[in-house]
Structure 1
Amino acid sequence: MTKQTLNAPSPALYRAIWRWHFIAGLVVLPFVLILAVTGGIYLFKDEINDAAYSRLRFVEPAATAPLLSSQITAEALDAHPGTLKAYTPAAASDRSAEVDILGADGLKTTLYVDPYTGEVLGSLWDAGAPGSPAMYVVRKLHSLEYVGWIGNRLIEMAAGWMVLLVATGIYLWWPRGRKVGTVSIKASRGRPWWRDLHAVTGLYTGGFIVFLAMTGLPWSSVWGGKFYEYSYALGIGMTDGYWSKLPVSTQPVSDAVDRAPWIMENQPMPLSGAADGVPQKLDTVVAKVEDLGIVPGYAISMPNGPEGVFTASVYPDDITYERVIHLDQYSGEVLFDADLADLGMLGRWAEWGISVHMGQEWGLLNQIVLLLACAAMVMLCCSAAVMWWKRRPSGALGVPPVPTDWRIPRTLLLMAVAAGIFFPLVGLSMLVLAAIEIVLHLSGRRLRTA
């Protein structure tokens, strides 16, 4: 008995992988389109926000020194009474200061103030890290949070399948001694042209697509949650010890600041000391964190209650300067001060990957390269849909036929199991698809024998 007889024949294996590539591609196609379009837009969120809200975000530089932080926040509170929640000093001489205020109606508003005159330039509903309500919508669409917990899990499943689609696509493209595996579009029209376009686009952009999928997964619920848990437990994500000698609250860092290092977001906030003391003045806190060397663009979050702390945080384009500082609200003592170098190895790599994913690590070049990758994802979806439409029989779905030989090499089974374990939601979807395949196969056999 030959080795080929023991294992699935190569043509059968090729058809099996083609079938799964086809089915998985159709299933995740709408999610990939959402990720690509919204991701491409969000890469330029700062440029879009600056253009759309220039009258709020920019001021005329003045020769005089800016007003004190307390004066700027007082002007904002006069214009919009409420509770001061956060203050962002002007990041540059031509930028406005931002003041976040929680109103009596329970809504948080960002007021933009000229730091030289104290004039309130206007306000927007506070959108957090996206910087504007419009970009907030784009970000929520990107993660499908508008449809609840299931949306995040669908996007996680799609990201995992994107990795496997690139891998199976390379397998289907690989020449294996035949005249396939084109590196350029050779056909001139029809379905062969779309096939070549699909193959060439995937070949040259597959690595970028895998990178985007993998660096986006830390935000997901299942995969991201386990990644965070294991990296922290191993001491290579967020190094232990920062809060070990301090009492902590149940409030995570992500609830206190708009943007913190990803690996730190779920860490508990420390608590201030004697709650019957006198809180530090905002001007004093600003002077303190600037003396500590925090870079412009930082924000200061106000203490959350009598035991809360002042938190200064910054997440700049150059993440080597990212930083989170917690100060006791009464004594002004530094309770926690960490930058990128204080994170564990995996935490630093995750931060770098996320920074590149968001298009901020290398400026415009980073944005353009990832925009092209997003455009390639749209092109892959469109070409796949056109190929399917052109090949499908009239009135049928046009799924590639089930291979007559169902035996699959053990190596491939092990790879499928490994992929399912590494991407749990992909594994779950594999089981669902396999169950459907088996039901359809058995139903077909019954019909043929009836």
Structure 2
Amino acid sequence: MSDITGAASIRPTIARGGAFYRLVWKWHFLASLYVLPFMAMLSITGGLYLYKPQIENWLYADRFYVEAQETALPIAVQIAQLDTFVGISRMRAVIPPVSPEHTTRIEFNTPQGVRSYAWINPYTADIIAVQARDTMLMHQVKKFHGELLLGDIGTKFVELAAHWAVIMLVTGAVLWWPRGAQRLRDRAALPRPPKNQSAKRGFWRQMHLFTGMLAVVLVLPILVSGLPWTDVWGGGLNKVQEITGTQSKSLRFGGSVPKSSTDTGEPIAVEQVAAIAADQGLATPYEIRPPRKADGAYWMRSASVNRYAQSELVIDQYSGAVLARVDFTDNPGVAQAKSLGISFHQGELYGWANVAQNTVAAVLGVVLSVSGFVAWWMRRPQGSLGVPAAPDAQVSWPVAALIVTMMILLPLVGASLIAVLALDWVVFRKLGWFRGASAPHAAE
């Protein structure tokens, strides 16, 4: 593969040594043009979402907690109160109080079809608050993190940035590695505050090198663990799991959920369902989905952040018999790894240490983006993008094989790379865009 911006030659040489280094630098630069703004956004929103429980406990303390009393009203009475004063077109879930000081939370659809939450005082059935799910602050942060609040179109842009961020970090690691007389300790040194104006460029360059080195270790795993959530990569993984029979056994989103043994009788109360879950050893809090049909069954799960404790039960709505149970360890290894990766991504896998690690990664993502932009801005020639110069040379077969492998493993990288190469051949070369200076810059 030849460099997309170099001048055509009759017999391009194989890029090795300094030529290969400059070629990698150019691709790192071009990837960064697209990735860095997204990396800053993903780092900020992802860093905030790590503290979702703490932020929501602070924002919504008045709806999460009540003064404990002796006797709580039946949850059925609380639901009836909500239906009377707000209206319920579909019951989605009930989250019973996990302690005497907590409210009952109901997830439901309003008569207008708006997916909403309600918080109810379990002792008086007073409706403390009702809010549409999409207007909850942390839900908006999550949606912006995953799709820029633009739906399916936005999620493709974010996924493309995540794919190219992997390329950016890999090429950045190649650029960071010492060459020639450079020493490893110098490349890994903390940047020193600049003493004068002329030293600022070196400061920002070293800051970018230092944070980039740490980002390869801390940010890259977060990027990879988030890929199962994406449309293209995650959708492909789902297809592979279906073909190989390694998909999750969870009944949360459908599947062969058993039905109740009859379609007549008096349904058991939600409290009894929670008591059955406690007898089964499920960890709180519980998420309980009432049956929607006469022959349906209760579905419930432990909503614990501990993935190994996230068991599911299907309970006959009339007899209370446990019709099915799915434990985390019932899942195939691929499904378990996928779930644990998501847990790591959200900072839940190993408690506060995971939160602290991902917080550092989020800070690194922001600093890496800012330092990369500033270093580029100070280096670029006036009136130019300052694209690093690279020779018109072919890469070796091992490197070409690596590129093809990356295109297969990261399909959006492959699709976008083909599009860029086509645009370069048809448009960019003629317009002189993304061309480096005639003489190579020193490697930066």
The TM-score, its normalising length taken from structure 2, stands at 0.85
Q: Is the 8 A contact 2:261 2:316 kept in 1?
A: no
Q: Which moved more, 1:338-347 or 1:96-105?
A: 96-105
> Which residue does 1:285 correspond to in 2?
273
1:347 matched to 2:335: yes
Q: Which moved more, 1:330-339 or 1:6-15?
A: 330-339
> 1:163-242 alignment to 2 at 5 Å?
163-179=166-182, 181=184, 182-186=187-191, 188=194, 189-238=199-248
Matched letter for residue 145 of structure 2 = H
Aligned-pair CA distance for 1:443? 6.3
1:414 matched to 2:401: yes
Aligned-pair CA distance for 1:192? 1.3
Aligned-pair CA distance for 1:274? 6.6
> Which residue does 2:154 correspond to in 1?
151
Q: Is the 8 A contact 2:298 2:314 kept in 1?
A: yes
> 1:46-445 alignment to 2 at 5 Å?
46-62=53-69, 64-83=70-89, 84-127=91-134, 133-144=136-147, 146-179=149-182, 181=184, 182-186=187-191, 188=194, 189-238=199-248, 253-254=252-253, 267-268=254-255, 270=257, 272=259, 276-278=263-265, 280-283=267-270, 284-306=272-294, 308-403=296-391, 405-439=392-426, 440-441=428-429
Aligned-pair CA distance for 1:442? 6.4
Q: For residues 402-421 of structure 1, what are the alpha-carbon distances to aligned partners after superposition, in whole Å with 9 as ceiling and x for unaligned?
A: 31x41211111110100000
State how far apart, in whole Å, the 2-side matches of 1:395 and 1:443 are: 16
Q: 1:9 aligns with which of 16, 27, 33?
A: 16
Matched letter for residue 168 of structure 1 = T
Alignment CA distance shift 1:235-1:386 (3 Å): same
Q: Is the 8 A contact 1:18 1:172 kept in 2?
A: yes
Q: For residues 367-420 of structure 1, what are the alpha-carbon distances to aligned partners after superposition, in whole Å with 9 as ceiling and x for unaligned?
A: 2221111111011111111111111121111111231x4121111111010000
Q: Is the 8 A contact 2:88 2:109 kept in 1?
A: yes
Q: Is the 8 A contact 2:258 2:314 kept in 1?
A: no
Alignment CA distance shift 1:74-1:396 (3 Å): same
Q: For residues 74-125 of structure 1, what are the alpha-carbon distances to aligned partners after superposition, in whole Å with 9 as ceiling and x for unaligned?
A: 3433443324432110122321111234332222332212223433322222
Alignment CA distance shift 1:375-1:444 (3 Å): closer
Of the two structures, which has the highest relative contact order with CA contacts closer than 8 Å and spacing of 6 or more?
Answer: 2
Local SS of the residue matching 2:383: coil
State how far apart, in whole Å, the 2-side matches of 1:66 and 1:166 are: 55
Aligned residue-pair number: 412
Percent identical: 29
Matched letter for residue 208 of structure 1 = L
Alignment CA distance shift 1:135-1:270 (3 Å): same
Q: Is the 8 A contact 1:327 1:335 kept in 2?
A: yes
Alignment CA distance shift 1:391-1:429 (3 Å): same
Local SS of the residue matching 1:300: strand
Q: For residues 110-162 of structure 1, what are the alpha-carbon distances to aligned partners after superposition, in whole Å with 9 as ceiling and x for unaligned?
A: 221222343332222235xxxx7111111110111522322112211211222
State how far apart, in whole Å, the 1-side matches of 2:172 and 2:319 are: 60
Q: Is the 8 A contact 1:319 1:355 kept in 2?
A: yes
Q: Which moved more, 1:328-337 or 1:195-204?
A: 328-337
The Cα RMSD (Å) is 2.5
Q: Is the 8 A contact 1:98 1:112 kept in 2?
A: yes
Alignment CA distance shift 1:180-1:430 (3 Å): farther
Q: Is the 8 A contact 1:237 1:348 kept in 2?
A: no
Matched letter for residue 212 of structure 2 = G
Q: Is the 8 A contact 2:94 2:105 kept in 1?
A: yes
State how far apart, in whole Å, the 2-side matches of 1:443 and 1:56 are: 60
Q: Is the 8 A contact 1:272 1:330 kept in 2?
A: no
Unaligned runs of 5+ in 1: 243-251, 255-266, 446-450
Aligned-pair CA distance for 1:227? 1.1
> Which residue does 1:257 correspond to in 2?
none
State how far apart, in whole Å, the 2-side matches of 1:6 and 1:289 are: 68
Local SS of the residue matching 1:118: coil
Q: For residues 262-305 of structure 1, what are the alpha-carbon distances to aligned partners after superposition, in whole Å with 9 as ceiling and x for unaligned?
A: xxxxx525252577423623344333333322221111112234
Q: Is the 8 A contact 2:191 2:207 kept in 1?
A: no
Q: Is the 8 A contact 2:264 2:294 kept in 1?
A: no
> Which residue does 1:245 correspond to in 2?
none
> Which residue does 1:44 correspond to in 2?
51
Matched letter for residue 246 of structure 2 = I
Local SS of the residue matching 1:86: strand
State how far apart, in whole Å, the 1-side matches of 2:59 and 2:431 are: 57
Q: Is the 8 A contact 1:73 1:87 kept in 2?
A: no
Matched letter for residue 112 of structure 1 = W
> Which residue does 1:32 correspond to in 2?
39
